[in-house]
Amino acid sequence: MFSKERNMIADVVVDLQYGDCGKGKIAHALCRDGNYTHVIRYNGGCNAGHTIYHEGIKFVTHHIPCGVFFGIKSIIGPGCVVHVDTFLKEIEELEKQGIPAGDLVKVSTNAHVITDFHKIEDKKDEEIGTTKRGNGPAYRDKYGRKGVRALEDPRLNKYLISLYHELYENEEFEDIEILFEGAQGFGLDIDWGDYPYVTSSHCTIGSAVLNGVPPKSIRDVWGVAKIYETYVGAKDFEGPEDIFEEIRELGEEFGSTTGRPRQINWMDFDMLKMASRINGINKLVINKMDILDEIGIWRAFHGPHMLEFDSRDDMEFWIQTKINMDVDEGIDTFFSGDKHNI
């Protein structure tokens, strides 16, 4: 067993809007350039869809953390729910493409299982607009203390891991460096989102901490957003402008899990500010800059007002200045139009 001097460092990737902001791309880039011993998915289930471009090939992962692309032990944490058939199929498909997922992926013994009954029940939803993957009913049963934990499903036996033992008592690692990869986004958080049009899990940094790491271990919190907003669900979200149809096509704004068209609207800076404050970010990445470059329109909501900027440079300057003034002057902001890099 290690002494108390063992070092543990963790970085967290959080979505500051409604999901689909490019968390997978950021997590992939951090794994590529970092020295992580573990990547841990900290919330959600197969309703997630993280798009990753690895060595020129497009992958969409649902359960599997992105560490598998770099030989890093990748764990589905206790804050997640797992549909076992989907999980096993995803491993099989990754291995067919040369990614050794089966050797790297582990499931925390205290994660919960999405049963076929959960999926059947979820398909009855018409009011919230869920992905119908069974997540909501699985989380309901978890908190109702009648769920099924991963250690109770024999199909998962070869993948099971005690996360406490792994992080604190496993002598394979002298020090621990973790990347926490989140799912969905702040606007869908069960507590902070636009209830009831929310997901069933916690999408903030608090959820990462609940996966076994003390808050003092957090080094960087990477907040991820888009220069415009998208949403998939039952509520009316899309603005009236015809330009949103063009943005949808240019940005390929169709759900990576469901294929549904994402509703489009301009960035809501007040929500970006709120999400940045609550998550305590020190890194901010704003993706899809290339899409507004293409259409040449730069707009954002600030309170009840619609702001229009003369150029990309003007909008970037305004966002960075406001974030540093209203949230934290030490936040590093990156504006990205690249599918592969930050």
105-117: per-residue pLDDT in tens? Answer: 999 999 999 998 8
Mean pLDDT across 120-130: 70
pLDDT (tens digit per residue) in 222-276: 999 999 999 998 899 999 999 999 999 999 999 766 678 999 999 999 999 999 9
User: Rounded distance, CA 202 to CA 191, Å?
Assistant: 7
Strands 176-181 and 228-231: unpaired
pLDDT computed for residue 129 by the predictor: 59
- Give CA torsion, residues 141, 146, 150, 154, to 10 deg: -130
Q: Report how far residue 66's alpha carbon sits from residue 52's, in angstroms, rounded to the nearest whole number.
A: 8
Both tokens assigned to 63: 């359960």
pTM for the model: 0.93
Q: How confident is the model over 15-49, as pLDDT tens digits?
A: 999 999 999 999 999 999 999 999 999 999 876 67
Ramachandran assignment for 303, one of left (phi > 0), alpha (psi -120 to 50 degrees), beta (any other): left
Going by pLDDT thresholds of 50, 70 and 90, the confidence category of residue 128 is: low
Mean pLDDT over 86-90 rounds to 93
Q: What residues form DSSP beta bridges with 222?
A: 13, 283
Q: Which option is the CATH number for 8-335: 3.30.1330.180, 3.30.565.10, 3.40.50.1010, 3.40.440.10?
A: 3.40.440.10
Mean pLDDT of the chain: 92
Q: Tell me what pLDDT residue 134 has.
A: 85
Query: At 221, is the secondary structure helix, strand, or coil?
Result: strand
Q: How far apart are CA 293 and CA 84, in angstroms?
A: 42
- Quick one: pLDDT at residue 2? 46
Say how far apart CA 256 and CA 24 lie, in whole Å. 12
- The arithmetic mean of pLDDT across residues 125-142, rounded, is 78
Q: Residue 34 in contact with residue 179, Cβ under 8 Å?
A: yes
When pLDDT is averaged across residues 43-66 and rounded to a whole number, the result is: 84
pLDDT at 66: 93
Q: What is the pLDDT of residue 131?
A: 65
> How far apart, in whole angstroms, are the C-alpha atoms of residue 70 and residue 245?
37
As given in the structure block, the two tokens for residue 153 are 């499903």
State the pLDDT at residue 1.
Answer: 45
Domain ranges within the chain, ordered by starting residue:
8-335
Separation CA 157–CA 138 (nearest Å): 20
Q: Which two tokens stand for residue 175?
A: 């020090």
Read off the pLDDT of residues 183-230 as tens digits, 9 standing for 90 and up.
999 999 999 999 999 999 999 999 999 999 999 999 999 999 999 999
Cα angle for residues 115, 158, 1 (degrees, 5° grid): 120
Q: What does the pLDDT read at residue 127?
A: 66
Q: Is 228:267 a contact under the CB 8 Å cutoff? A: yes
Among 32, 33, 66, which Cα is nearest to 49's? 66
Active site members = 20, 50
pLDDT for the residue numbered 257: 65
